[in-house]
Structure 1
Amino acid sequence: MKIGRTALTATLALALAACGGGGSNPPPTSGGPSPTPTPTPTPTPTTAACTAAEEIDFANAVLNEWYLFPDLLDDTVNPADFNDVQDFLDARVAPARAQDIDRGFTFATSIEEENELINSGSSAGFGVRLGYDTANDRVFVLEAFENGNGFAAGIDRGTELLAIGTASTNLQLVSSLMASGGPQAVVDALGPSDPGVTRVLRFRTADGTVIEQSVAKSDFSLDPISDRYGVQIIQDGAKKVGYLNFRTFFPSGADRQIEDAFERFAQEGVTEFIIDFRYNGGGLVRLAEVMGDFMRGPNTGSVFSRTVWRDSKSDRNRTDSFESSVPFFNPQTGQLGAAEPIASVNPVKIAFIARGGTASASELVINSMKSYLGNNIALIGTNTFGKPVGQSGFDLDSCDLRIRAVTFKTVNADDEGDYFSGLATTVPNTCAAADDIFTPLGDPAEDSVAKALDFLAGRSCTAISARRDSDISGASAEAQRATVDLGDTRRMLQPRRPNPAQFEIPGLF
């Protein structure tokens, strides 16, 4: 089945060990129409009261009817043995987890909180993304969202978090927290993701200045493209290179930012690109499709990707094509508007910067463009996470419960998918590169950007290792959700039970 964008909108809810996505079909409230009819388990459980048993019955009905791998559900699991819906989900999909194809991807979340994220990019926190060094137990800021209180306090990329307290009199050293309770102790010390939660933080900025300051968590909107470094034209000798740092495929309104970026590239006549997905754990598949449309070149009407469901739901299988006009999200109505003609660049070469947290929608873009660039595409950095499957959302409204269950997979125009081990072995060129957190993102001197420029210029490099999270394969779902390997000695700092924003934007606090 081939359908237009206005008939298919998908959200990639991440949840990979702590990273995520792959594609998911949201209910209509998530900012655009979803496949019709919206997936609903049969029979629909009754919800007279919001008990754990009813949540578990609902989740069980979802898995039985919709799970992509029905043969990998543990049918010996007794719902009556559980009083927590997430524990039940983890038990039922354990056979798929053992095969490394559902690494915490099936999960329970809040309808209200996830809809806020999808529609407006709203989240509560300091507005920073944190990682930790597994070799030295140190916590660093990987990037800062400019409209968060953390950035306003002087916290930015390369900042080291030294101590945390509720007051200056009870500061706990991060090194002590890591030694006593590991990363989760640091997560706990930072407090809940609620507006008004305040912590005294001692931190060292990238230039060596030590600051101690009280910082409050607040609601802030995620900006997928930084106004500081998100879109750049890098002059590499006589050649112009378009650089795009895309942080997350959320919220729905990010389509206008994508439009602005590629219109600038088109006006500059750029044909070689660096697309920086190094921390991008995924988001809305629709935005991945929109990005592909702006890079379509002469391929209008050709296959961008295919979506494949379980055999009993094969009527939902569909093909998405490159399009010359797209509907944009209208934040006033919460819906997609009428399709509008869009510009296109004509990519000759693309270097995609990626790391172990690069997942879902990011991988979908890379895998789809691979079919059209031949040997003129490269993966720069480390191997990606490996999530070619997507989740649909199933809502139990009375409980504010949304079950995100793996329901479909995506493949490219060459029917290539199943990259559960990451994309390093499938992309024709790879260049290993460090993530130099003490150099600004987008700076040509930053190692990953420098290696991307080397590839575009035809210079040689060292290939990426195909290793991907080998140390957590077969681990519990909770452990996998709390582990996002960045491909070196760093991992994202992630709670054992991430909130919706942290599922989608790993490391967010």
Structure 2
Amino acid sequence: MSIGRNIISITLAASLVACGGDSPQGPIGGGGGGTPTPTPSTGTCSLSARQDFAFAVLDEWYLFPDLLDRTVNKNNFTTVQSYLDALVAPARAAGQDKGFTFITSIEEENDLIANGSSAGFGIRLAYDTAANRVFVIEAFENAPAFPQGFDRGVELIQLGTNAATLESISSIMAAEGPSGVISRLGASTAGLQRTFVIRQQDSTERQVTVTKADYALDAVSDRYGAQIINDNGKQVGYLNLRTFIVASADRDLQAAFQNFSDQGVTEIILDFRYNGGGLVRIAELMGDLMRGNNTGEVFSRTVLRPSKSSENSTRLFRSTASFSGTSAAVAIPSINVTKMAVIGRDGTASASELVANAFLPYVGDNFALVGANTSGKPVGQFGFDLAACDDRIRAVTFQTVNADGNGEYFNGLAGVVPNTCRAEDDITNALGNPAEDSVATALAFLRSGASACTAIAGTAGVQGLQSVQERRELLQPAAPSAVQREIPGLY
């Protein structure tokens, strides 16, 4: 999930918030704005009053009004989220709201967007669904775990609150499943300690104790996030964007594409394999940085329900942008993309899919989805705030379509892109390494076209292979935090 037009929504503070700008009320994965009616009283935070606010938001703004169950009795539910789940159950059954409507904390989400920080170990985890094993698939360099030897490909062997309480991951998984590991990792609280036994890729094992701390969520890794790969003399741009949710990602993207432009890059690999989405504004900026000769042409269109059609909007490619912390628009670089490979998986959603879909009319048959099928989230949320209660309702309120009017990828991008190339998430190699299977496959497509590929099979969120890599799923809690919605698998 995500926060941009993936965060297709962000805030209301008793008014509507859509991700797409730096305002926490902006849209996640989309655009638009407004104020729900009736405006709720900020003087009460009873469960009933909070449920009434949630219903008012959906009744007025929900993208699929005919798929809203208005017959459910709020008194049958003990939380706002369970009530929301019941209201949107018909849309969920139809595959059009796969957990995209939810309640979150205003303070937590605003802090995430504005400050780009989180409290934790700074690692993304995935588990092998058959072998009961848990692996690190990515590590944030400035977080507590990385200096302790946690990096891509490291396996968690044992876990405990201290050395005396260590339990094997395999036994926890066998008895309780992934939720057992998640609960033992503990809350996202700075100062919380956990002891691990980890196995490095060279098979050596060591015991380490790591203390959770606040750290900045660097959207583009300084190690591998933006680089130029020399593919037999051809310069290929590689960009791994971890998330669209951090407002300061705009500067990282500007720097990366300035380098690509300076080096004459026209072929690009966008690695979104774990990117759950985020701010629409960041997705739009990424489009602008790849606009080439398309300034003034359509990047995407945002479409709301018929009763809110006055909020529909069209976003054109721009040659200028305003950056986080500033208001003045400045000229920005761009590359003229002739070939594009997007690396995706079931964790790829929202703003990631938005960028890919937006370029289909411009890149055509020179576009491929590499890896596995994506989540299937062509919709976005606005944020509606009940400020006195720290409640933000992220409700599906809009759908995005590209310049050709196409945006029906609820079953994932594999069904709408011209080419798909099956590849594994090869955690034995670093992200961005030309030898890593998904990157190698992307390079092969850019070099030789679809003839180099085996098509991706399966539906959204369902892997088509049963290799070790394809059995691996992100370790995601049932009720993810704000940061875990945007950066799935993060602890």
Letter in 1 for 2:315: D
CA distance in 1, matches of 2:357, 2:327: 28
Determine the structure 2 residue equivalent to 1:437.
427
Is 1:24 aligned with 2:9?
A: yes
* SS class of match (1:233): strand
Amino acid at match of 2:125: L
**Among residues 273, 276, 288, which one is paired with 2:271 in the alignment?**
276
In the other structure, the counterpart of 2:353 is: 363
Q: How far did residue 34 of structure 1 move?
A: 4.7
Give SS of 1:338's match. coil
Residue 149 of structure 2 corresponds to residue 154 of structure 1 = yes
2:444 maps to which residue?
454
Q: Give, as a single letter, the amino acid of the residue that structure 2 aligns with 1:373.
A: V
Greater shift in the superposed pair: 123-132 or 199-208 = 199-208
- 169, 174, 181: which one aligns with 1:174: 169
% same residue: 56
One-letter amino acid of the counterpart of residue 430, structure 2: P
Cα shift readout 1:288-340 (whole Å, capped 9, x = no counterpart): 1000001001100000000000111100000000001111111xxxxx51111
Question: Superposition pairs for residues 38-77 of structure 1, below 5 Å?
Answer: 38-77=33-72
3-state SS of the aligned residue for 1:142?
strand
Residue 392 of structure 2 is aligned to residue 402 of structure 1: yes
Matched, 1:298 2:293: yes
Q: Is the 8 A contact 1:56 1:85 kept in 2?
A: yes
**Alignment partners' CA distance in 2, 1:400 and 1:222:** 23
The one-letter amino acid paired with 2:41 is T
Q: Work out whether 1:499 is the aligned partner of 2:456.
A: no
Amino acid in the other structure paired with 1:494: Q
Which residue does 2:330 correspond to in 1? 340
1:92-141 superposed Cα distances (whole Å, 9 cap, x missing partner): 10000110111111001000000011111111110000000101111001
* Greater Cα shift, 35-44 or 314-323: 35-44
SS at match of 2:322: strand
In 2, Cα distance between equivalents of 1:358 and 1:231: 18
Aligned equivalents of 1:430, 1:38: Cα separation in 2: 36
Q: 1:143 to 1:419 in 2, by over 3 A?
A: same
CA deviation after TM superposition for structure 1 residue 22, in Å: 6.0
Cα deviation, 1:233-275, whole Å, max 9, x if unaligned, reads: 1111121111111111121111010000000000111111111
Residues 199-238 of structure 1: pairs in structure 2 closer than 5 A: 199-238=194-233
Please tell me whether the aligned partners of residues 12 and 360 of structure 1 are also in contact (alpha carbons under 8 angstroms).
yes
**Deviation at residue 470 of structure 1 after TM alignment:** 5.3
d(CA) in 1 for partners of 2:410, 2:101: 15
Match of 1:127 among 103, 122, 129: 122
Task: Supply the AA of the counterpart residue of 1:378.
Answer: A
> Contact 2:10–2:394 (CA<8 Å) still a contact in 1?
no
Unpaired runs of 5+ in structure 1? 1-10, 15-19, 331-335, 472-485
The change in CA–CA distance for 1:487 and 1:79 in structure 2 (over 3 A counts) is farther
Displacement, 1:201? 1.0
Is the 8 Å Cα contact of residues 410 and 460 (structure 2) preserved in structure 1?
Answer: no
Q: How far apart are 1:41 and its partner, in Å?
A: 1.7
SS in structure 2 at match of 1:424: helix
Residue 23 of structure 1: CA displacement?
A: 2.0
Distance across 2 between alignment mates of 1:183 and 1:350: 35
Q: Does the 8 Å CA contact 1:22/1:387 hold for their aligned counterparts?
A: no
**Deviates most, 437-446 or 202-211:** 202-211
Paired residue secondary structure (2:382): strand
CA distance in 1, matches of 2:3, 2:243: 11
RMSD: 1.9
Do the aligned partners of 1:378 and 1:427 also contact (CA within 8 Å) in 2? yes
Matched, 1:465 2:460: no
What is the SS of the residue equivalent to 1:320? strand
> Residue 340 of structure 2 corresponds to which residue in structure 1?
350
Q: Which amino acid aligns with 1:385?
A: S
Does residue 490 of structure 1 match 2:462?
A: no
**Matches of 1:419 and 1:229, distance apart in 2:** 30
Distance, in Å, in 1 between the alignment partners of 2:406 and 2:201 is: 42
Aligned length: 475
Q: Say which of 286, 289, 297 aligns to 2:281.
A: 286
Question: Does structure 1 conserve the Cα–Cα contact (< 8 Å) formed by 2:11 and 2:385?
Answer: no
- 1:127·1:144 contact (CA, 8 Å) conserved in 2? yes
Q: Structure 1 139/37 Cα, relative in aligned 2: closer, same or farther at 3 Å?
A: closer
Structure 2 unaligned segments of length 5 or more: list them: none
TM-score (normalised: structure 1): 0.90
Asked if the contact 2:32–2:313 (Cα under 8 Å) also holds between the matched residues in 1, the reply is no
The one-letter amino acid paired with 2:220 is I
1:409-428 to structure 2, matched below 5 A, reads: 409-428=399-418
Using the size of structure 2 for normalisation, the TM-score is: 0.94
Distance in 2, matches of 1:238 and 1:47, equals 63
Q: Could you tell me which amino acid in structure 1 is paired with residue 410 of structure 2?
A: F
User: In the aligned structure 2, how far is the partner of 1:183 from the partner of 1:218?
Assistant: 23
